[in-house]
Structure 1
Amino acid sequence: MTHPEAAALIARSNRLGADPRTTNYAGGNTSAKGTDTDPVTGEPVELLWVKGSGGDLGTLTEKNLAVLRLDRLRALVGVYPGVDREDEMVAAFDYCLHGKGGAAPSIDTAMHGLVGAAHVDHLHPDAGIALATAADGEKLTAEVFGDRVVWVPWRRPGFQLGLDIAAVHAAHPEAIGCILGGHGITAWGATSEEAEARSLEIVRTAEQYVAERTAALEAQGTHPFGPVREGYAALSEAERRLRAAALAPVVRGLASTDRPQVGHLTDSDVVLDFVSRGALGRLAALGTSCPDHFLRTKVSPLVVDLPSDAPLDDVVARLKELHAEYRAQYQAYYDRHATPDSPAIRGADPAIVLVPGVGMFSFGKDKQTARVAGEFYVNAINVMRGAEAISTYAPIDEAEKFRIEYWALEEAKLRRMPAPEPLATRIAVVTGAGSGIGKAIAERLAAEGACVVIADLNLEGAQEVADALGGPDVAVAVRADVTDEEAVAALVREAALAFGGVDLVVNNAGLSISKPLLETTVRDWDLQHDVMARGSFLVAREAARAMIAQGMGGDIVYIASKNSLFAGPNNIAYSATKADQAHQVRLLAAELGEHGIRVNGVNPDGVVRGSGIFAGGWGAQRAAVYGVPETELGTYYAQRTLLKQEVLPEHVAAAVFALTGPDLVQTTGLHVPVDSGVAAAFLR
């Protein structure tokens, strides 16, 4: 049963975390103190419940809390060895834990345990950080709050900061909280309700002050970020999306120089306004300040310094120049501050790329990480605008940023992360993925870590598959007619806009009409060739265009058929089309190998259960040809094979994973039979 104080803490945390004005995703921490019974002695024991490392306030549950004995935590004050050995204190928190389970204590645990108040909130509101990063933040804090809120100069999070805030709380009984220089806010209260009310008072008061000062500037005809530069205004939505889709694979390829990344596009008004203004270069170079921000965004972004409508080729060329400069500058930043015991450099590519007229590309190890990095940079933009409205933006200095970015404790947190899935960072497009074999392939690729674009003529069915896979951080649905050249180009653009590009394409869309030669019409022939031969060609061409722009290699897989080799009766149009697809595999493998793009095929047979083709009438036609009931067609196909086993959609999906996973990286031009053994279709 959840302790009442812990239950109140969780409810308060969820309310605070649900409002982006109050704190950012996974940012800040909250706590509550209370008494429970020691299960060993039966005596009362004072406990601290505090959000653990890596949790998010908006979704906090009991399992995300660390529970510590207050007597042991406060006893650490007597053995604290000083700021030079600060990192040792986090390991000491483990010896203060009460019971087993729960989350690992975070670096901010001392702040919560040492402050005398029963309830403590540490938050990262944009308006609060605007005050915290203003050049005269201490003076402004006194002006805005009087003696209700105390200024605490910048100090790296840790045990000493906990001691500092505890001293502030003890010395200022009239205070409700403090502004942490360069960082955020902390508030406290005797009850959960009081702590929450005080947190919101600090946030709302700071918001009102920033808003009033901003309005005063605008009334004078000025803006915190300066005027819009001529030629740098936002493009129309249609132009913006076209340009973003064209640039995304290029930018993603550059941002993946050290390790593959997934991308996210943000073209909100906040971002588009920032990249249009005169202060962009100065402020972007200063970088972010709050540790939660720059740990996800790196210390500064890459900024394209060309007008919104600059020729696309010029933007691509300039991106490559700026990327080389960024990497050199980041390496120099690392070299300036690294010590012999610093963790190794984690990569010199940007996490944030700002493009005037278009918006912001953000990158991470998966879609959620990339999206959240963009959200944090939007927070940073809000902070910079607020600080410039009330003063001058003055973030913590570069050396302090390095100390946190390459903190041994941060490195330890990264090492605790689970190993990535085999297809992590891969962006897959599967055609005909709303049902049957395509759905099974999409499910398998997503289960192995890929981001998946579910392409299908039936958008409703595709959306159901995408939703079941986890929604837009994992899969997106796109209506796509693969016979339409523009629709296929739009499909690849949607993949670029959703995830940054494309690495893996499965040409699965298809249909079949089973008729004898003399009954096969030209329309039958054209329809099947349009969907499978022409459609596969169009999808492969557009995907290859994006893959070549990325420079990251890729995979193209054709779901062909045993019929590409086997001459069965009453099947001229379908089998000829599958033979076309099979030879496309060979042709494209030979042509695209120089770009690191592998092209392979899968030859299924007799996939009846769950098959969209069979459900659409093909099953009845083939059952009639073979003289068996349609309900027994799968069994019939199985009995004519060497293994006597029915082939299911997930077996085809397994073959796709085998061809695109980490094991067959030197394989291209191969057709894998998934037919339980049809000797007449053996490859020769």
Structure 2
Amino acid sequence: MSTTTTTTTAADDLIARSNRLGQDPANTNYAGGNTSAKGTATDPVTGEPVELLWVKGSGGDLGTLTPKGLAVLRLDRLRALANVYPGVDREDEMVAAFDYTLFGTGGAAPSIDTAMHGLVDAAHVDHLHPDSGIAIATAADGEALTATIFGDKVVWVPWRRPGWQLGQDIADIKAAHPDAIGTILGGHGITAWGDTSDEAEQNSLWIIRTAADYIAEHGSAEPFGAAREGFGPLPEADRRARAAALAPVLRGLVSTDGVKVGHFSDDSRILEFLASESLDRLAALGTSCPDHFLRTKVKPMVLDLPPTASVEESVARLHELHEQYRADYAAYYERYATPESPAMRGADPAIVLIPGVGMFSYGADKQTARVAGEFYLNAINVMRGAEAISTYSPIDESEKFRIEYWALEEAKLARRPAPAPLAGRIALVTGAASGIGKAIATRLAKEGACVVIADLDASKAQEAAASLGSTDVAVGIAANVTSATEIQAAIDETLLAFGGLDLVVNNAGLSLSKSLLETTEADWDLQHNVMAKGSFLVSRAAAKVLIDQQLGGDIVYISSKNSVFAGPNNIAYSATKADQAHQVRLLAAELGEHGIRVNGINPDGVVRGSGIFAGGWGAKRAAVYGVPEEKLGEYYAQRTLLKREVLPENVANAVFVLVGSDLSHTTGLHIPVDAGVAAAFLR
């Protein structure tokens, strides 16, 4: 029996308070900070009341915290650990000791900050990472500013790595300052407390708002100094076009040690920072709050050219800067690594700053990349605040290394689930709002890929994307594959949404079931424009990105059994499918040297869910074969060797096999997905 689900006012209030605090980015960053409450529950073994600590567990997010995200500990046993505390040099051992204080079963793993919450003598404790609070915490004269801004209500705590001793330091400060409501943690954040949940929340908000008000009232108007001439932001359309042009090259560079997904932001606060005369100095100092640089690395990579430089000049310089960044990062690791340090996790930057254009952030998946960018924006806000009233002075580089390569952080990484088969891959599927295309997009997303659903109807594309999850998983866009301009726009949107492109599925299509004499010139042109020309345009635009990335990739054509089988009353459709089939062979031969695989799939008779069949094609084909339209799927099944109806999901399964690792040495192949049509056997 689990006792961690015992309903208590303390735990309920804690969840509500945490959600309110965490949902406002002014209070703390994503997954940053932790909150706690103390209360009593009945011990199911003794029947006696027991004092408990409920605290946000390791890796949770305050804004979305639920009871399952809480660690629940016996307070008497937690505090008794003081008797076995081995000292600062071995305090990491205390995290494992927390397991012996847990109450009941289930719940989240206790975090390193658990000691802070258990040792501070207050019923409710908040530890947060607000930009305004960290600005004070990272100011060169932060201690004096704390006294000036808050008086005796808030006490300065010098930087100390999170752990048991920091918790004891804060507990001692509270005991020595009975009128204090919280602390500023040097280089880190804030901690506040209260006798009730509401009091703790109000104290936290008072510290955050008082710091922000002081900075606004007393800060300089230009905390970053004057703007550099020629480094101001490009017009929106121009900077997004430049970002899309640079994205493939950047993705290839930052994926040297492992493939990354990207996120682009041209937030006005970022653009202001990138145009400032303080950019190089502040960027080199890196971030300070542990949550920040764990996500953003010790410092960003900064392009030192104005936005008026050509794309070619920028690309050449980015290659040079990347090589230099990797060398600098390796030297940083060697300066501080010990025999016990975890191995270097990779030397590529997580943040790339492009003056006049914006910021790219990178991670193993879209959420990680997006959050890294959000954290760096937090860091910019912190720098702005610190520079407005003082000088930004983050913690020492050696301390940053101790956090970045902390054994406890390594253990947290090891607890992550194994990545899905297509994790880190970015797919563009045309004609994907319904039928085969939607089934393909669904399967790719399920296997871990980020997916862009392109369709003529933007609203349907967006609806289909929303059904797959958040915009960290899929986005929907409008694209007419017969237009080179719209195709390039779709490729650019993909690059700005996810930072790159790995996998393209040419699925968009239509069909006109007419005999030779009934087929007009307009019919022929429409059929070929959508599928033959459309596939060509998509593949051409995608191939440039894949080549620039230098990461290989996949192009898949959804062709047809009709590309090799001659049937009646189908001249325009079948001819264009044959065109697509040969494009597969031609592109496989041409793009192989770049590691790009090009393969095709030949479905037949996919009636269920098909937009083509629903649009009149089904009725016409049923008339050709002399069967009712509602029986067309059954008719197609009965003419196959396996006597099975082909569904959109069957085609999607074949796409997954083609783009997965098991067929890594296969290109120029067509896979029949037709339940066995002997006349369409490939020869």
TM-score normalized by structure 1?
0.99
Structure 1 position 253, deviation (Å) = 1.1
Equivalent positions of 1:657-672 (< 5 A) are: 657-672=656-671
Give 1:440's aligned amino acid.
Answer: A
Q: In 2, Cα distance between the equivalents of 1:459 and 1:620? A: 27
Q: 1:352 aligns to what?
A: 351
1:675 aligns with 2:680: no
1:183 aligns with 2:188: yes
CA deviations on 1:136-175 (whole Å, 9 max, x unpaired) are 1111111111111110000000111111111111111111
Give 1:80's aligned amino acid.
Answer: Y
Q: In 1, Cα distance between the equivalents of 2:240 and 2:296? A: 23
Structure 1 position 472, deviation (Å) = 1.1
Q: 1:555 aligns to what?
A: 554
Q: 1:57 aligns to what?
A: 62
Q: In 1, Cα distance between the equivalents of 2:167 and 2:53? A: 14
Q: In 2, Cα distance between the equivalents of 1:65 and 1:309? A: 51
Secondary structure of the corresponding residue to residue 392 of structure 2: coil
1:141 aligns with 2:141: no
Q: In 1, Cα distance between the equivalents of 2:7 and 2:473? A: 33
Structure 1 position 501, deviation (Å) = 1.4
Structure 1 position 430, deviation (Å) = 0.2
Equivalent positions of 1:263-302 (< 5 A) are: 263-302=262-301
Alignment identity in percent? 76
CA deviations on 1:545-580 (whole Å, 9 max, x unpaired) are 111111111000000000000011111110010000
CA deviations on 1:29-59 (whole Å, 9 max, x unpaired) are 0000011111100111000000000111111
Query: Unaligned 5+ residue runs, structure 1?
Result: none
1:595 aligns with 2:602: no
Q: In 2, Cα distance between the equivalents of 1:637 and 1:28? A: 59
Q: In 2, Cα distance between the equivalents of 1:211 and 1:332? A: 39
1:113 aligns with 2:118: yes
Q: In the alignment, which of 136, 159, 163 is matched to residue 158 of structure 1?
A: 163
Q: In the alignment, which of 175, 178, 185 is matched to residue 173 of structure 1?
A: 178
Q: In 2, Cα distance between the equivalents of 1:623 and 1:20? A: 58
Q: In 1, Cα distance between the equivalents of 2:82 and 2:11? A: 25
Q: 1:77 aligns to what?
A: 82
CA deviations on 1:294-353 (whole Å, 9 max, x unpaired) are 000001000000012111110111111000000000000001111111111100000000
1:29 aligns with 2:45: no
Give 2:566's aligned amino acid.
Answer: A
1:209 aligns with 2:208: no
Structure 1 position 2, deviation (Å) = 2.3
Structure 1 position 25, deviation (Å) = 0.7
Equivalent positions of 1:241-640 (< 5 A) are: 241-640=240-639
Structure 1 position 267, deviation (Å) = 0.3
Please tell me the root mean square deviation across aligned C-alpha atoms, in Å. Answer: 0.6
Q: In 2, Cα distance between the equivalents of 1:86 and 1:333? A: 25
Structure 1 segments of 4+ aligned residues over 2 angstroms from their partners:
none
CA deviations on 1:88-127 (whole Å, 9 max, x unpaired) are 1000001100000010000000000000111100000001
Secondary structure of the corresponding residue to residue 434 of structure 1: coil
Q: In 1, Cα distance between the equivalents of 2:367 and 2:408? A: 23
Secondary structure of the corresponding residue to residue 517 of structure 1: coil
Secondary structure of the corresponding residue to residue 53 of structure 2: strand
Secondary structure of the corresponding residue to residue 662 of structure 2: coil
CA deviations on 1:630-669 (whole Å, 9 max, x unpaired) are 1111111111111000000000000000000121111100
CA deviations on 1:211-257 (whole Å, 9 max, x unpaired) are 1122xx22xxxx11111001000011111111111111111111111
Q: In 2, Cα distance between the equivalents of 1:359 and 1:198? A: 36
Secondary structure of the corresponding residue to residue 584 of structure 1: helix
Secondary structure of the corresponding residue to residue 671 of structure 2: strand
Give 1:236's aligned amino acid.
Answer: P
Structure 1 position 518, deviation (Å) = 1.0
Q: In the alignment, which of 116, 119, 129 is matched to residue 134 of structure 2?
A: 129
Secondary structure of the corresponding residue to residue 403 of structure 1: helix
Q: In 2, Cα distance between the equivalents of 1:382 and 1:458? A: 39
Q: In 2, Cα distance between the equivalents of 1:210 and 1:364? A: 33
Q: In the alignment, which of 101, 118, 125 is matched to residue 106 of structure 2?
A: 101
Q: 2:3 aligns to what?
A: none
Give 2:436's aligned amino acid.
Answer: I
Give 1:105's aligned amino acid.
Answer: P
Q: In 2, Cα distance between the equivalents of 1:112 and 1:453? A: 44
Give 1:323's aligned amino acid.
Answer: H
Q: In 2, Cα distance between the equivalents of 1:471 and 1:403? A: 35
Give 1:645's aligned amino acid.
Answer: R
Q: 2:643 aligns to what?
A: 644
Q: In 2, Cα distance between the equivalents of 1:235 and 1:300? A: 24
Q: In 2, Cα distance between the equivalents of 1:188 and 1:491? A: 50
Structure 1 position 471, deviation (Å) = 2.6
> Which shifted more, 553-562 or 246-255?
246-255
Secondary structure of the corresponding residue to residue 455 of structure 1: strand
Secondary structure of the corresponding residue to residue 147 of structure 1: helix
Give 1:149's aligned amino acid.
Answer: V
Q: In 2, Cα distance between the equivalents of 1:458 and 1:298? A: 41
Q: In the alignment, which of 16, 22, 25 is matched to residue 11 of structure 1?
A: 16
Q: In 2, Cα distance between the equivalents of 1:264 and 1:151? A: 36
Give 2:128's aligned amino acid.
Answer: L
Give 2:187's aligned amino acid.
Answer: G
Secondary structure of the corresponding residue to residue 513 of structure 1: coil
Q: In 2, Cα distance between the equivalents of 1:633 and 1:193? A: 65
Number of residue pairs matched by the alignment: 678
Give 1:652's aligned amino acid.
Answer: V
Q: In 1, Cα distance between the equivalents of 2:589 and 2:566? A: 26
Give 1:647's aligned amino acid.
Answer: V
Q: In 1, Cα distance between the equivalents of 2:136 and 2:180? A: 17
CA deviations on 1:451-494 (whole Å, 9 max, x unpaired) are 01000001111111011111311111110000011011111001
Structure 1 position 675, deviation (Å) = 0.2
Secondary structure of the corresponding residue to residue 469 of structure 1: coil
Q: In 2, Cα distance between the equivalents of 1:660 and 1:556? A: 9
Give 2:465's aligned amino acid.
Answer: A
Structure 1 position 683, deviation (Å) = 0.7
Secondary structure of the corresponding residue to residue 609 of structure 2: coil
Give 1:561's aligned amino acid.
Answer: S
Secondary structure of the corresponding residue to residue 557 of structure 1: strand
Secondary structure of the corresponding residue to residue 646 of structure 2: coil
Give 2:269's aligned amino acid.
Answer: V
Give 1:656's aligned amino acid.
Answer: V
Q: In 2, Cα distance between the equivalents of 1:308 and 1:344? A: 37
